[in-house]
Amino acid sequence: MKYQVCYYITGHGLGHATRCIKVIEYLISVGIQCDVVTNLNILSFIQKNLSVESQHKITLHGRVLDGGAVQTSPLTVDPIATLNNYIPIYEQHEILVQKEITFLIEKKIDIVLCDATPLACRAGHLAQCKVCVISNFTWDYIYTEILAAAIRDTPTDIEEVVLSQYRAVVQSCAEDYSYVDLYLQLPGENPVPSGIPAHRVIPMPLLARHANLSRREARKQLKILPSTNVLLLCFGGFQSHFHLCDHFLPKGWICLSLFSNPEDMPSERFISLPADTYVPDILEASDVVLGKLGYGLLSECLATAIPLLYIRRSYWPEEPHLVHYMRSQQGCISVEEHDFLHGKWELYLFRALLTSRGIRCRGADDDEEEKDVDDGHACDSQHQHVEGGTATDPDTDPDPEGRHTTTAALTTPAPPHCPAAASKLKSSNSSSSRRRRRGSCQRLDTSGRLMKDPTAPAAIIAHVIDLFKSNS
């Protein structure tokens, strides 16, 4: 039987889009027709990151059906503005639902997949489709926590009529999710909506994009020597807050920067990457990642066994759950915002290098010179907090002041490299040579779910099709 699938993807961030791309490509590979509904920014990203063959086999529809989060800075979510952003959708809820019902019926959709637009669940159910959420969080939980923070931290009291409307938004989202037939819950999970019974929730493996290039191939394209320490900076929107300086990097390091302007690079040790760079391949070339802790970056760091430095975000309820999951795997290191903005990166980078020896599970090419592969065991390091530029975990760190972390022992001379070479590492999805590295390791997370599992999309769709068959 040929199934017709419609995939609703929240416009909140690229992490949702990157994991949905994996599912979309698998749907296409097994001959399932797929429509995709999301906002225009996410549609553009999906279109650019799908293989050329896949682009011609899906239909994209640009619509705004959820509000996402509103940020006052790259690290601060505005609770009130975020809640207000959903109000127009809440006020037009019944109209929007009816339009989606009509759309789903006209397109003869059998299955609605959702990550994790609430009203799509109600519309799918009323259009007599099977509805499946594939996500690690739902918006009713996010809005509940954000509303509590707004009440707690807003300097002046929020008017009761406004509070009532915010509570109605939360309730509306929760009711929408109650129409779900199946919730395939990704790692880093937030609490399940109360309207979804436990028997409908199935824990799933990590859903992540994987590199198409080996570490050696990626570095060769970037003209980076094997001995060089490489930081990948995954931050956008900071240009108005601070300027990068060459002294932020220790000697022997270079920085590959995503979402940045080439004109803002302070020296040739900083390389601005093109907007269409395929991030997993860049991760393969890197030693440490510095960025915001979102699902997309977390999943791809775990898939490539790269240590992550992250800066905490204010008023974002998903983050503690992602931190908890990351702690259960390879660990992560929290960087103080002040230290990040003032370029006090050195000790964080060296601590990350030390932890990376335990978490890297890479395979090496037969003729590859650098041998930075450990014995294959996962690192037991926990989430580590850094005070005043020194990475510490007071409960487990035998050297909390970093006395034995010497710069001389961990740095190498800066090698020549070519910023222009970065343009070669663009969307490698279109590459015909998608080969898996030899010796790659697979590990189970604390829930027994396979972390680095290339079959995760197949497992997800198998559950969805079983659901459809069992109720047909």
- Interval 337-348: pLDDT, tens: 999 999 999 999
Q: If you average pLDDT over residues 78-86, what whole number do you get?
A: 97
Work out the angle between the directed axes of helices 14-29 and 40-49 (0-180°, nearest 10): 50
**Percentage of the chain surpassing pLDDT 70?**
77
Q: What is the pTM of this model?
A: 0.82
CA distances, 12 to each of 38, 229, 303 (Å): 10, 33, 22
Q: If you average pLDDT over residues 103-129, what whole number do you get?
A: 97
Task: Report d(CA 149, CA 108) in Å as an integer.
Answer: 42
307 Rama class: left (phi>0) / alpha (psi -120 to 50) / beta: beta
Task: Report d(CA 115, CA 424) in Å as an integer.
Answer: 32
How much is the pLDDT for 471? 65
Q: If you average pLDDT over residues 421-436, what whole number do you get?
A: 43
Query: Residue 151 contacts by C-beta under 8 Å, 6 or more apart in sequence?
Result: 158, 163
**Averaged pLDDT score across all residues of the chain:** 82
Task: Report d(CA 49, CA 46) in Å as an integer.
Answer: 5
Higher-confidence residue: 164 or 395? 164
Residues 65 and 8: beta-carbon distance below 8 Å: yes
- Per-residue pLDDT band for 398 (boundaries 50, 70, 90) equals very low
Reading the block at residue 60, the tokens are 């994209």
Reading the block at residue 331, the tokens are 């660990």
* pLDDT over 80 (residue 141): yes
Lowest mean pLDDT among 14-23, 207-216, 387-396, 434-443: 434-443
- Per-residue pLDDT band for 453 (boundaries 50, 70, 90) equals low
pLDDT in tens, 304-335: 999 999 999 999 999 999 999 998 988 799 99
Strand partners, 35: 6, 59
* pLDDT over 60 (residue 218): yes
Query: Residue 188 contacts by C-beta under 8 Å, 6 or more apart in sequence?
Result: 136, 295, 298, 318, 321, 322, 324, 325, 326
The dihedral built from the CA positions of residue 379, 383, 387 and 389, taken in this order, carries a sign that is positive
How much is the pLDDT for 238? 64
How much is the pLDDT for 55? 86
Cis peptide bond upstream of 116, omega within 30: yes
Higher-confidence residue: 90 or 422? 90
Task: Report d(CA 416, CA 228) in Å as an integer.
Answer: 10
Work out the angle between the directed axes of helices 456-471 and 14-29 (0-180°, nearest 10): 70
Q: 341: closest CA among 233, 258, 252, 251?
A: 233
Burial class of residue 100 (count of CB atoms within 10 Å of its CB; 0-12, 13-18, 19+): buried
The count of other CB atoms within 10 Å of the CB of residue 3 is 18
Work out the angle between the directed axes of helices 160-177 and 79-91 (0-180°, nearest 10): 70
- Per-residue pLDDT band for 244 (boundaries 50, 70, 90) equals very high
- Per-residue pLDDT band for 84 (boundaries 50, 70, 90) equals very high
- Per-residue pLDDT band for 2 (boundaries 50, 70, 90) equals confident
pLDDT in tens, 41-65: 899 999 888 888 888 899 999 999 9
- Per-residue pLDDT band for 411 (boundaries 50, 70, 90) equals very low
* pLDDT over 60 (residue 395): no
Largest CA distance in the chain: 69
How much is the pLDDT for 450? 46
Q: If you average pLDDT over residues 142-155, what whole number do you get?
A: 94
Q: Which helix (H) or strand (E) holds 309?
A: strand 308-311
Q: If you average pLDDT over residues 176-193, what whole number do you get?
A: 97
Residue matched to tokens 């109650």: 178
* pLDDT over 70 (residue 464): yes
How much is the pLDDT for 378? 31
DSSP 287: S
* pLDDT over 60 (residue 214): yes
